[in-house]
Structure 1
């Protein structure tokens, strides 16, 4: 007899859980949809702009400090270059304005960091940040303009020059203006409602900012220590610390000559290398985590729209690329065949868009690296005119410095050249890191695959011998799959320790055993519905454990259409059900903030959807295993809630024991024969499950 005081709340709780799960899935689906529908510039404004500002803000502060701690003018006695001139006192107003500029910039940077840690509201922090940086920039620009005028310069001009501090002031002013402008774009997008008025930085983004601040602080403190130990000017020590920590080693006159300096170098250099390695690792992680994800989403959506727009119903074709047009017709096909056709087209769209994304990213990063090289060489040529550097010599120096070769045969000696080298070399760190990451996905991968392919029929033939491997290679070459992105590379499990994996497997195994035992008991009592329900739970738990492993696979696991058909059936979406699907189409015009005229794979509302729709499981940011893992976990949770509720409606599950007996090539008598052989009902069913 049921207690009315407990049964009603249990039923209500089950309904609430079901409703909440569906609502959560619906919200997640809509959030994923916006990844493809929102313009990329708003992702740049909401995430990239604050990240760039938070990273380069401390660097700009460091350059402001460099512009303040030393004099802006030097006197050049006969036969002395500007790198060894005598300092000339600055006017007090210049020092005062310079100090106020630094204070404003520090306050602005602190406000941004407090906003990112959610200790200061967006409405308060952003005006402080933007106004502070703009004022700091304008003050430095005014000082630079006055310092460049002939009134400020001591005559005769040939006996006087501007120091490194002046050029650091120019760089700091430019950085403040750029990052303040980026934050204006961020605030504009937030108040237009394109994203929340708060920063949701990931762990890797926050780590990059903290590591950048630590690296800059480490560089300046080291420069201060070595300037005292070696008797260098502070800004010369900054120049030395920069090419030392970046392992460029340009040589020249700035090398430790005292025993104390050389001893300290042992510890300072290794600390700098570790700090720089952490920054590089964070940059690479950030590029792979966010940049690749957003770029992939946009390329996939644009490619999908172009393909759907190229559909020719009269000729029954669809255009996948410039030279690829395939047959695409729904006439005479069953619903499952039509869906499989859509699935295969979507797979081709995925492959092509990902290839384009990789090579576009490589082209962009290569262009940035080349600009850094050529434009840097141009600046060095003009700054090192006293040394007689030609453009070719400047290119040679820039190239050996970018690759951290550092022969030491050429090095900047001018004040402008030293200051620019510090800024230029720090800018090279993220540029080359991104370039190398993109090369790893394209050029390096192609060379690796080519090397393995050549070696397989030369020095290291495969198990089929040289002739067999060569024939296989020629066949792959004919179909254009030598450099393919499929399962040819060994998949590795990442992200979780072996202990966590074992714990997860054991817990899931207990669920499987319990549900299978319940199914067997219900079957013995002739209750087929209970038997099928528990058997359904058993299958869900078993597939859940498999998907947990697939979710950790690298590269991400991709399932065939037949596997998708099976998994979708488990969550109650039958590929043969025509009422649950819609034909692929795309709207070329859509009103702002309106829902797209495309399908949804959201399990809560059973909205009709297409494999080529924007909510196709192949379109989301999640991997296919993660998408299925989320849905099957929610399905199993709902099923368990229904069991705990006595008033829950009991319906036949999407699969049953009869599906095993009725499948082709296997009948119920086979299971009975296994039982007669002493295998038992449990092992017989396990064999059937392995054959599915």
Structure 2
């Protein structure tokens, strides 16, 4: 016998819960795809190439606007030689090369603005850059031969324009080759066929174009005002805008030039600062996140493979092996054990990422320094540059000290100096930022701690400061401390209840109190639950906006997970770690601890790929998103016209908390059911009635 009007509410409630779970599954799957997506490497290659395209165009313009040969008068040098007219075929081929390069760059910009599809823009860009590079290479080859050179060789030399052509040709070829590589990967399905550039990526490209235009226009103006050759003015504008300031021959000497320098230099500082800021935003924030995710996943897989079922242990690092067994532990204690191990994995992988990034950026900076000095040594042989002098010159240039006692004078040296100093901007920006995360931070912490021992004693005294120092030395060790943490799961339950009970005394619970006075206890509990969700969302928003990424303790995670309907004491939403299995499966893979192959079963482990400690989101972002989704689903449920759906029992009971707070039994285990369980039970009972 059917109860009229009961099937539909139960079905609607079950459908609402299924929709919510489905949304959560889709969200988890999307985050997992983003986390495991390998295309971020191609994206960084792509944006790097897009950024160097305008620089290469600028060098092509430098190679076109001046003659390629100079005559050296007696007693002079190649930097002050007389220009010799180029043949018309050289100018024509050089112009065609620039047209191909500009067309390739324009197609990139149109693709960036979504006015040209990837399938059309990418071939145009690759072919355009290849043709531009090959034409310049052909010109450089001919210009290096006796067909173009004028005898006697001692009285003739090649100008800066020739060397700018070499640099531009090399950049074009590298850009085209790497873009062909990424296009092949997209064609094979390894990468997306259309990279969606972020705001920071677009900004970096536009600012790079703006910087090159600003540099060349400024050089053109000052070459006219000061009577310099255009490429000498480019050399001057470069070391002026980058604040190197060599001085020497190329300094403004006219009143007009000195007057124009004031606004030009300020504009240059702003432009360079914007480029540096974009580099930090693009590489040091987004890139750091991606790099951390990969290091985290590699470390997690390695730790999972180290599970030893015989000794009931798991190896965290080479020198760190801890007990990993659920024997004699409650579900909450077992989950807390997983949490602390995962937190340790997170700490070690992040430390490795920081120092790996520091090593890579240091290596890049050292290569830039040593190889740059090698080029300067050979280009400045007429000045008698030794390798040590070249190292000294490169060092004071990298740090923008610019004493001016040594300055490049050859045509090759000036052209290379412009390109080399532009490379130094992102290289040193990344190096300094990585040093700030490691060496400088460690030195700062050590200085503060040392001050607490000497001139600035800690508020708690010298002994407390010494304890802090010793704790930092042995930080991160999982031993007896972690066992004590795992055995204190009961205290985390107390903290959860205390935190919830504290809201009972909030003045904002007017509606809940009003419902209580009318005897509508279920309405009161629903109001209380919604109030808690809203307040916690506000708190999490502050954590998200914090400059330092916040990490939560296990008792905080236990509290938040309970708010979204995932009780850490309930094993139905958890995956069981297979710690009692052999070291490896027969196929050589690690035991499966909560990977994302659960289908539609919403179950996860702290050591799994769907762990909140994994992925690209910070912990406050992860929690804020889930709490907001939960609050949204609750609002939809409350707006339902169906009384039974609307008044399903919430997971937080105000009455029980008030009772426990008054009786002192806050530590007792909560016996409330989640909304999902209530609906499932209702639907099951209706199916039983129908079958009867």
Q: Same fold (TM over 0.5)?
A: yes
Q: Residue 317 of structure 2 aligns to a residue in which SS? A: coil
1:545 is matched with 538
Question: 2:28: which partner in 1?
Answer: 29
Residue in 1 that maps onto 2:178: 182
Query: CA 1:97 to 1:610, structure 2 compared with 1: closer, same or farther past 3 Å?
Result: same
Q: Distance in 1 between matches of 2:208 and 2:152?
A: 42
Whether the aligned pair in 1 keeps the contact of 2:577 and 2:592 (CA below 8 Å) is no
Counterpart-to-counterpart distance in 2, 1:192 and 1:589: 32
Pick from 529, 533, 540 the counterpart of residue 522 of structure 2. 529
Quick check: 1:660 aligned with 2:646?
Answer: no
Q: State the match for 1:109 in structure 2.
A: 105
Partner of residue 3, structure 1: none
Deviation of 1:622 after TM superposition, in Å, equals 1.2
Q: Deviations over 1:366-424 (max 9, x none)?
A: 00000000000000000000011000000000000000000000000000000000000
Q: Counterpart of 2:632?
A: 637
After superposition, the Cα gap between the structure-2 partners of 1:223 and 1:24, relative to the gap in structure 1 and judged at 3 Å, is farther
Structure 2: distance between partners of 1:581 and 1:613: 10
TM-aligned CA distance change 1:589 to 1:239, over 3 Å: farther
Contact residue 207 and residue 275 of structure 2 kept, 8 A: yes
1:13 CA displacement: 10
Asked whether the equivalents of residues 533 and 653 of structure 1 are also in contact (C-alpha less than 8 Å), the reply is: yes
Matching residue within 41, 44, 67 for 1:44: 41
Indicate the larger mover: 319-328 or 192-201.
192-201
| 2:452 matches 1:453 | no
Partner of 2:677: none
1:94 corresponds to: 90
Q: 1:558 aligns to what SS in structure 2?
A: coil
SS of aligned partner of 2:195: coil
- Change in Cα spacing, 1:265 to 1:19, as seen in structure 2 (3 Å) is farther
Residue 15 of structure 1 and its aligned partner are, at CA, apart by: 8.8
Q: What are the superposed Cα offsets for residues 560-604 of structure 1, whole Å, 9 maximum, x if unpaired?
A: 11111111111111111222211346999999xxxx966379999
Residues 357-506 of structure 1 mapped to structure 2, 5 A cutoff: 357-465=353-461, 467-477=462-472, 479-480=474-475
- Is residue 201 of structure 1 aligned with residue 212 of structure 2? no
| 1:267 aligns to 2:263 (yes or no) | yes
Task: State the SS of the aligned residue for 2:186.
Answer: helix
Aligned pair 1:346/2:342, yes or no? yes
Shift in Å, 1:475: 3.5
Asked whether the equivalents of residues 71 and 157 of structure 2 are also in contact (C-alpha less than 8 Å), the reply is: yes
Query: How far apart, in 2, do the equivalents of 1:455 and 1:576 lie?
Result: 45
Structure 1 residue 273: deviation in Å?
1.1
Change (3 A) 1:604 1:526: farther
Distance in 1 (CA, whole Å) between partners of 2:98 and 2:13 is 60
The aligned runs of 1:54-65 (5 Å cut-off) are 54-65=50-61
Match of 1:651 among 645, 648, 651: 648
Who is 1:506 aligned against? none
SS at match of 1:101: helix
Check whether the contact 1:104–1:135 (CA below 8 A) recurs between aligned residues. Answer: yes
Identify the range of structure 1 (551-560 vs 26-35) with the bigger mean alpha-carbon deviation: 26-35
Q: CA deviation at 1:642?
A: 1.1
Following TM superposition, by how much is the alpha carbon of 1:37 offset from its aligned partner in structure 2, in angstroms? 2.9
Between 1:431-440 and 1:178-187, the stretch displaced more is 178-187
2:569 — aligned with what? 576
Over 3 Å counting, the alpha-carbon distance change for 1:564 and 1:432 in structure 2 is same
1:69 paired with 2:62, answer no
Equivalent pair of 2:70/2:158 in contact (CA under 8 Å): yes
| In structure 2, C-alpha distance between the alignment counterparts of 1:407 and 1:521, rounded to whole Å | 77
Distance 2:145 2:268 in 1: 39
Cα offset, 1:557, TM superposition: 1.6
Equivalent position of 1:623 in the other structure:
618
Question: 1:323, 1:666 → 2: CA distance?
Answer: 48
Which residue, out of 308, 314, 320, partners 2:316? 320
Aligned residues of 1:29 and 1:602 also touching (Cα < 8 A): no
Q: Which residue pairs with 2:560 in the alignment?
A: 567
Change (3 A) 1:275 1:476: same
Deviations 1:495-535 (A, max 9, x none): xxxxxxxxxxxxxx9xx978x33433333343333332222
Q: Cα offset for 1:335?
A: 1.1
State the distance in 1 between where 2:651 and 2:168 align.
Answer: 65
Aligned counterparts of 1:210 and 1:625: Cα–Cα separation in 2: 32
Structure 1 gaps of 5+ residues are 1-7, 483-508, 670-692
Is the partner of 1:318 in helix, strand or coil? strand
**Residue 663 to residue 251, structure 1, CA distance change in 2 (3 Å):** same
- How many residues align structurally? 624
- In the alignment, the residues of structure 2 paired with residue 571 and residue 610 of structure 1 have an alpha-carbon distance, to the nearest angstrom, of 16
Q: Establish whether residue 235 from structure 1 lines up as the match of residue 219 from structure 2.
A: no
Distance in 2 (alpha carbons) for counterparts of 1:603 and 1:314: 27
Query: 1:91-136 deviations in whole A, cap 9, x for unaligned?
Result: 1111100000000100100000110110111111111111000000
Could you tell me whether the CA contact under 8 Å between 1:25 and 1:602 is conserved in 2? no
Cα 1:15–1:410 change in 2 (3 A) is: farther
> Is 1:255 paired with 2:251?
yes
User: Is the 2:207–2:271 contact (alpha carbons within 8 Å) kept by the matching residues of 1?
Assistant: yes
In the other structure, the counterpart of 1:162 is: 158
**1:216 correspondence with 2:209:** no
Structure 1 residues 14, 374: closer, same or farther in 2, change over 3 A?
farther
Deviation at 1:281, TM superposition (A): 1.1
What secondary structure is seen at the aligned counterpart in 2 of 1:248?
A: coil
CA RMSD, 1 decimal:
2.8
- More divergent stretch after superposition (643-652 vs 449-458): 643-652
SS in structure 2 opposite 1:550? helix
Cα offset, 1:180, TM superposition:
1.4
Check conservation: 2:279, 2:426, Cα contact below 8 A. Answer: yes
Task: Note the alpha carbon deviations across 1:405-457, whole angstroms, 9 max, x for none.
Answer: 00000000000000000000000000000000101100110111111111112
Alpha-carbon contact 1:36-1:301 (below 8 Å) kept: no
